[in-house]
Structures are given as structure tokens and as C-alpha cells.
Chains A and B, each alone.
Chain A
Amino acid sequence: MITGNYKTRYQDDESIWNNWAKRWGFALSIVFLVVFPFVADNYMLLLAGQIAIFIIAVAGLNVLVGYTGLMSLGHGAFFAIGAYTAVAIHHEWPGTFPLITLVVSILVAAAFGVLFGLPALRVKGLYLAVATLSANFIVLFFIREHWFEEWTGGVRGTETPNAVFFGVELVSQQAKYFMIAPIMVIMLLFAQNLFRTRFGRALIAIRDKDYSAEIMGISLYSYKLKSFAISAGYCGAAGCLWAYFFPAILPEDFGLNMSITLLVCLVAGGMGRTLGPIFGTMLILLVPEMLKVIVSMVTDGDAMAQRYFSPMRDIVFGLMIIGFLIFEPMGLVNIWDRFWRFLSRWPFAK
């Protein structure tokens, strides 16, 4: 039970883990992340890697949508830019040190983020949604066309390299997991830090009341663009890891579906919260797996039934978005909060 507030220094009050539950929660998650690859099979590791990569991207989207309050339906494009940048780097300079590739992917994606962010200086809400959506289509168009085929492989897609650390090639899922998980943790902590200090507060201020933020001396132009750059950079990192994680990529992987999936993860998890992307992504990526299990149980692995799987998954996804918006617009994090509030007050109140 978390009772009163007995802190004697501002430093304690301002720290991320300002109570024991959070401290232990964090420690346990790290332990889980370390132990998991040794107990999981390949299929679970595949899922875990995918989830971790998505968490990074959704955390990036959270910076823009959740914290800055700017809408984007085009973050699949940044994902794509990150992935294809990684491929292009390895195509030009095979065996580049993976962290360098990662940084370059982030920078390239962030640069595109600034470019995409330009409409945000003039429009908000819906107009921005359509502008980013358009940008997504345009980026995919360029990836598909023959002009950059040498790096992108055009419509047919391209094979992707494996990461090589000091002569050790990361081939197995387990090895790749050990590259992805730490990067995810670091990037999440970075985002968390960002939003308890000056920089992040400014972004939240823009979300809550833009003209009021301006009065506080926050330049809307520069912060909106920076927000776009950061969130694009996160997606770029995710894209780069995606390229390392999977053997091949296709332009279709990063289309509207990807952009919307990212948004759905964010909404399901809870916008503007650090834990939101984690919860949301786990839910959204695990539901199809559960659905697969259910479908195969009901139909005994009937081949005909498999046909229905993909449309059914779409319907479940769509219903989940709508359901969350109607019944739990604050996302899973809100349920989580309620649970903890309940525990901390337990015998006395609900």
C-alpha cells in the first residue's frame, strides 16, 4: 500500500520511480527482459522482437500524437525510411557497425520528419491527418518506383542484412533480441526523461493550449518541428531494427496499415503516457495470435477456415479501436491506474 508522501527532498519527488512499487516494477521488468530469451522458443522470440520494435515506433508516435497533440496517419513512412536507409547503408558499405546504421537511420528519418512536419505549422487536426497520410503514400510511391530500385528493390522488395557486431553476425532470434531489447529500454527511458523536463513540458503545453504555450515563450514552429523530428527518429530506429530483424522487406509492409496499426497501439495503450505504448503494442500484436489459436481450435485447423482469418483479424482490430474510443478513450493505462488506485486505498474506499 502506498500511503502518504514522506519525501524530504525535491529530488526524490522529481525522480521517475518516486515510490517503491514503480522501483520494483521497473526492476522486475528488466529481470523479465533478461530471462525471457532463455525460456522462450523461437516463435515467441519472433513475436517479442516484433513487439519490442513496435514499442519503439509507438513510443515515437506518442511523442507527436500523445504529447504534442499533432495528428499523424503517416508514420509508416518513417518506419519505411528507417528500414530502407539501413538497407541502403549496408548496400553501399557492407558490414557497417549496426549502431552507426541505427544512428544514421534515425537522423535520416528525423530529417524527413521535419519535412513532413511543415504542414503542421499551418494546419492542425484533420488537415494534418490527411497531409501526413498523403506524405505516407508519396514516400511509398518513391520507394516502389524504379528510381531508387538499386537500394529499395522496387515493388519486389529487398533482402535485408544481418547486424554484425565485431565479427559476430546476429543470426538467431535470440541474438537479435539481445540487440533490440536494450535499445528499446534506452529509448523508452529517454522519452520518459524528456517529458519530465523543460523540453517535454513545452510539447505538452502545445498540446494542451497552443497560444498559452506561446505566451510562455515556447516557439510553436521550432517545437512542433522538433516533435515531428523526434517521433520520426524513433520510427526510423524501429525501421532500422526491423530491417535487421526480418530477412526481407516489402514496400507494402509500411503502408497505411502500418501507420494505422501504430496509432491503434497508441490509442489502446493510452496516449501521452510512458506505459501506453508498451501496453497497447502488447495487446494489439498479441490479439491476432490469440485469434489464430482460437480459430484453429474451433475449426481443427481446417484449411478453408484459414481463409477467414485475415478478414476476421481486420474486423477485430477495427472493433477494438472503436471499442476503446467509446469505452476507454484513455486506454489500458487508465485501467492500470484504476487498479493501482484501488489497491492503494483498498480496505477504505473504492
Chain B
Amino acid sequence: MGQFIQYLINGLISGSILALIAIGIVAVFKSTKVVNFAHGHLIMFGAYFYFTFAVMLPEAAFMPSWVAKWEPQWLLDYRGDAMMFSKEAAIATWVSNLPRILLGLVGALAANAVLALLIERLVMRPLLGQSIFAMILSTVGLIWVLEGAAGLIWTAEAEQVPTLGPNFPIRFELFGTNLFLFSASLVNFVIALLLFAGLMLVLRYTRSGIAIRATAEDQSTAYGMGINVPRVFSTAWLIASMTGAIAGAILASRTGLSPAMGLFGLSVLAVVLMGGLDSFLGVLIASMLIGVLEAMAQWKLGGSVAEIVPYVAVLVVILIRPHGFLGQKEIERI
């Protein structure tokens, strides 16, 4: 039982990250009807940008030293009192890392936004109105371009990147068993869910959110109603790239950096289809479910089985409910 709850918690945490990644795919699909197979690679770029701005740049010679390590007197005092590996020490490390974490996040967000706008302008827009097949394939083509580009740009061995939140172990007791998680994971969990909820609210209640939803329903009618459809497309890609940048930063701090990270995006795509492409709620449910299932598979069957869990799950779901848990069924008119 104790083990079970432990893995349940792990699963929910990784599920929240899946959801954060998934939101980018859903946002782009909802407004542009393009399913982005390369979203994982956008995230990989986010992660590398975070690495660049949070690790490489602060260590550069021209940067003031406080960026890499911020050590005001009061912090040193605070740390001096703390025990090694204690909660206080972890917080002190985090605070001294804070400048570069912020620099990393801002840099990653900005750089990824530029990248997404470039992709939208140069690749997606010329293909507007083409078949689904062409859209899918062009994002598949992007996979290779992005993977190759990452291989060319970031040749250095990837190092550890700072976590977004202070990282200390939390131990607590539930139903008579000792449980354990890292505070950084908890911070990631909260960030992911807040972003998810925030975006859902934005889409539901703001003007631009409604513009996005209108475009999703019918592009040409939305155009006729005076909605700037190309701007909606750019907005959607911006949302995707920026949530992707944060997800990338989180992933990089959790599992490290590698050009193979992008493939992770494909499993998220499976999750998205499971939940239903156009339903945020469905995607959230699916993400949590897959997160938990993966954790359970990890526990009982080992890591290599956990890797294919989303793919098996999506196959089963597609066979039973072709449009996912909460996806809208398209009715074909004859």
C-alpha cells in the first residue's frame, strides 16, 4: 500500500508535466487544426535554451559574477547556520541560483517564442489549407530539422541545470507508511497545474481566447467576423512554445538534456489523442492517467515497459473510443 501511494504520487507529478506539454499540442490544434508532431522538439529547444541561459551564459567571462552565484551577506549568514543537506541549505542554494534561474526562464521563453514564430511563418503558413497529411508530414519534417539543428548548436556535453524550485526531500506519513518526494517536483507539479488552469481560463474568458475558439470552429467564418486569423495562429504557436519552454526547463532539471528528448513529445501526442484532441479536460485526465500508469509499470514491470505504456494505452483507447475520452466526434455529412 505504501509503495502504491508512493508511485501514485510520482505518477501524478509526471502526469502534470505531461499535461503541461500536452497543452501546447492542444492549443495549436485547436486554433490551426495542425497536430504538431515536433512539439517534443520544441520542448527540447526550450530545455537547451534554458541550459544556455541558466548555465552557459552566466559562466561566460563577460557576465558579472553575481549572476552565476548570488551571495549577499545575509544569504551567507543564513547558510552558515544551516546543516549540510538540510532544508535550509537547499533553500539557500536555490536563492543563490535564483538570478540564473530567472535569466534561464526568461531567455528560454523569449528564444522559444522567436523559434515558434519562425516555424509558424516559414513552414506552417505556406501550408495553410493543405491536407492533414501534408500538415502532419511537415511537422515530421520539422522533427529532423530541429533535431539536426540542436546537434549542430549545442555540441558541449550537457550538464546539470538548476531546478526551478528549491530541492530538498520531503518526508511525510500517510496511512501509516513513510512517503517521500522532492520539493522541486512539488514545485514543478504546482507550476504545471497552475499554467494549465490559467490557460484554460484565458481561453474560456478572454477576447483572444474566444478568438482562438472561434477560429477552431471555422476558420473562414472567423475571418469573416473580423478575427485576425493569422494572429490567432501566431498566438497559438506562442502559447505552445512558451509552455514548451517551461516544460523543457522542468524536464531538463528532472532527467537531464539530450537531443533524444524530443521523442518524448511523441508519447505526449499519444496522451493527447487519448484525451481527445480538442478537450483540455480530457487531456488533463489522460495525462494523469498515463503518468500514474507509467509509474505503476515502472514499479512492477521495469523501465522499458513504462516507455511503451502511452502507446499501448492510446491504441486501446482509439479502438474503443476513436475520438478519445472527451474529444468531439466529427460527423461526416453525405
Contacts and interface: CB of A to CB of B under 8 A. Distances in A.
Interface of A: 65, 71, 73, 118-119, 122-123, 125-127, 129-131, 133-135, 137-138, 141, 144-145, 211, 256, 260, 263-264, 267, 307-308, 310-322, 325-326, 329
B145 A263 contact: no
Interface string B133-169: 1101110111111111111100100000000000000
14 contacts: A71-B136, A125-B133, A130-B314, A134-B270, A134-B312, A260-B144, A311-B147, A311-B148, A311-B150, A312-B148, A314-B144, A315-B149, A321-B140, A322-B145
A122 B318 contact: yes
A122 B148 CA distance: 36
B141 A321 contact: yes
Contacts of B202: none
Nearest to B140: A260
Contacts of A319: 141, 145
Contacts of A211: 332, 334
A71 B314 contact: no
A286 B323 CA distance: 40
A127 B133 CA distance: 11
Given A119-B318, A312-B148, A317-B144, 6 more contacts: A134-B270, A134-B314, A137-B308, A310-B148, A322-B123, A322-B141
Contacts of B304: 141, 144-145
A25 B319 CA distance: 46
A115 to B, nearest CB: 11
B268 to A, nearest CB: 11
Contacts of B132: 125-126
Contact of B148 (A260, A267, A314): A314
Contact of A127 (B149, B150, B305, B322): B322
Interface string B108-137: 000000000000000100110010111011
Interface string B304-315: 110110111011
B142 A318 contact: yes
B312 A318 contact: no
A307 B127 contact: no
A329 B127 CA distance: 10
A325 B147 contact: no
Contacts of B270: 130, 133-134
A268 B144 CA distance: 15
Given A314-B151, A322-B138, A325-B137, A127 B144 contact: no
A326 B269 CA distance: 24
A318 B141 contact: yes
A130 B144 contact: no
Contact of A315 (B133, B145, B308): B145
Contacts of B334: 211
Nearest to A329: B134
B273 interface: yes
Contact of A325 (B127, B277, B319): B127
Given A122-B322, A125-B132, A311-B148, A130 B273 contact: yes
B151 A311 contact: yes
A118 B319 contact: yes
A126 B35 contact: yes
Given A123-B318, A123-B322, A256-B266, A311 B273 contact: no
B24 to A, nearest CB: 16
B82 interface: no
Contacts of A65: 133
B263 interface: yes
Contact of B311 (A125, A137, A314, A325): A137
Interface string B13-25: 0000000000000
A130 B324 CA distance: 12
A145 B301 CA distance: 12
Contacts of B141: 264, 317-322, 325
Nearest to A263: B137
Contacts of A256: 263, 266
